[in-house]
Amino acid sequence: MDRFAYIQVETPAAALAALARHPQAVIKAGGVDVLDLMKERIVTPAVVIDISRVADWGGIAVEPQTGALRLGALTSLAQLAQHTEVQHRWPALGQAMANAATPQIRNMATLGGNLCQRPRCWYFRQETYPCRKKGGSRCFAQAGEHRDHAIFANYTCTSTHPSAAAVPLLAYDAGVEMVDRTGTQRSLPLARFFVAPERDVERENVLRPTEFLTAVTVPRPSEADASAYLNFKHKWSFDWPLVEVAVVLRREAGLVKDARIVLGAVAPVPFRAQAAEHILEGRAVDAELARQAGQAATRGATPLAHNEHKVTLLAELVRRTVLKAADQLPAEDEVMVV
Ligand SMILES: Cc1cc2nc3c(=O)[nH]c(=O)nc-3n(C[C@H](O)[C@H](O)[C@H](O)COP(=O)(O)OP(=O)(O)OC[C@H]3O[C@@H](n4cnc5c(N)ncnc54)[C@H](O)[C@@H]3O)c2cc1C
């Protein structure tokens, strides 16, 4: 790792001032990803601004007027996983956070850092491979090792988006709030936060280098809504998901009025499986409908030579997550190891 200057800030004002003085600085929250990137020499900052002690950008609150959830960007994954109201009202988010990484990492890692972390493609993470994400002209995974890589939209870059938090948050139609070094604030739906490789292969989101992510807001589901998250991994102890799915069902009189199904670990950005959502709309969930939704979720997949298995896993995981949201999944099918 190269030498760098380290600035620890404790207030939003000090964070903005530090970034105004050092616009090329790298921001560190929990540091789980950014320190890896520095050790791997993928980023080599002269200055690191550590925001992990900015209390104003942490915390979990339920807005009294709207019942919406407001999550500080510095909230840890463990805090999210353990929060009773999150578990009760936004179970897909609680389930995703409880299943991410390891207990130690969940204590360190923050929500903002989880949404902004860089992909785990082994070619991107190796200094010696000048892939497109690093300004090169090739995607080495396309003709190389890609068993865990993208099965959708994988023509420019085959990495998958690594954020478990993004999957349920997109399904709940969350928004993000940002502030730049001059103090100017902006907010966006999370659906407009992520950037596909065809738009800009060297970044995964619209956050500018001179901006902080400060909060995530999540609308309150109604009493009749139901939601769930599941993933498939190779092993029980820590592992990255092979595929992950969040389902939110808005229901009226026992029928699905509106469905949101979000897929993770299958494309360079998390995205909605709209064909599967349409299958559910206006119908009552049962085993056959869930199976059809699973099949529909794989439409448009373009697997590579060695990751066709992810298509099969995805169909099965969507089927199970729809049933779980509808409270119809047999307990033995909750097993997420393949
Ligand atoms: C062994 C292992 C297993 C893992 N398994 C999973 C998993 O199953 N699911 C999963 O989702 N993740 C997993 N992760 C990744 C881990 O969850 C992320 O690295 C972590 O969430 C990043 O959060 P952080 O606070 O440490 O971010 P940092 O490392 O501090 O930052 C990450 C990036 O976000 C930027 N950033 C952070 N906060 C802000 C902010 N507020 N404003 C602007 N920019 C910001 C940083 O500049 C940096 O680019 C795993 C990691 C490891 C090491």
- What are 222-226's contacts with CB under 8 Å, separation 24+? 222/250, 224/250, 224/251, 224/252, 225/249, 225/250, 225/251, 226/251, 226/325, 226/326, 226/327
For the CA of 165, the closest atom of ligand 1 is: 11
Residue 37 lies in a domain: no
- Residue located nearest, by CA, to atom 18 of ligand 1: 114
- 85 and 208 in a single domain? The answer is yes
Residue 190 lies in a domain: yes
Residue 249 lies in a domain: yes
pTM of the model: 0.97
Q: For a pocket test of ligand 1, which of 6, 16, 33 has the largest count of ligand atoms closer than 8 A to its C-beta?
A: 33
Residue 123 lies in a domain: no
Cβ-Cβ contacts under 8 Å for 82 (sequence gap 6 or more): none
- 86 and 179 in a single domain? The answer is yes
- 209 and 239 in a single domain? The answer is no
The pLDDT of residue 55 is 97
C-alpha 1/C-alpha 154 separation (Å) is 31
- 188 and 310 in a single domain? The answer is no
Assess contact for 241 and 337: CB atoms under 8 A. no
Q: How far is CA 298 from CA 275, 287, 305, in A?
A: 9, 18, 16
Amino acid type, 176: V
For the CA of 211, the closest atom of ligand 1 is: 43
Cβ-Cβ contacts under 8 Å for 308 (sequence gap 6 or more): none
Assess contact for 211 and 180: CB atoms under 8 A. yes
Residue 38 lies in a domain: no
* Distance from residue 109's CA to the centre of ligand 1 (Å): 6
- 306 and 184 in a single domain? The answer is no
Assess contact for 31 and 13: CB atoms under 8 A. no
Q: For a pocket test of ligand 1, which of 16, 34, 107, 235 has the largest count of ligand atoms closer than 8 A to its C-beta?
A: 34
Q: Residue 96 belongs to what domain range?
A: 55-116+161-218
Q: Domain ends where: 186, 218, 250?
A: 218
- 192 and 230 in a single domain? The answer is no
The pLDDT of residue 336 is 67
- Our count of domains for the chain comes to 2
Task: Average pLDDT across each block of 10 residues of the chain; the chain has 338 residues. List them in order.
Answer: 94 97 97 96 96 98 96 98 97 97 96 98 96 97 97 97 98 98 96 98 96 98 94 87 97 95 98 98 98 98 97 98 96 76
Pocket of ligand 1 (CB under 6 A): 26-34, 73, 100-101, 105, 108-110, 112-114, 116-117, 162-164, 207, 212-213, 238, 240-241
Amino acid type, 54: V
Assess contact for 5 and 45: CB atoms under 8 A. no
Domain CATH number, residue 250: 3.30.390.50
Q: What digits encode the pLDDT tens for the residues 241-271?
A: 999 999 999 999 999 999 999 999 999 999 9
- Residue located nearest, by CA, to atom 13 of ligand 1: 101
Residue 133 lies in a domain: no
* Distance from residue 30's CA to the centre of ligand 1 (Å): 7
Q: For a pocket test of ligand 1, which of 6, 7, 26, 27 has the largest count of ligand atoms closer than 8 A to its C-beta?
A: 27
For the CA of 34, the closest atom of ligand 1 is: 29
Domain CATH number, residue 189: 3.30.465.10
- 105 and 177 in a single domain? The answer is yes
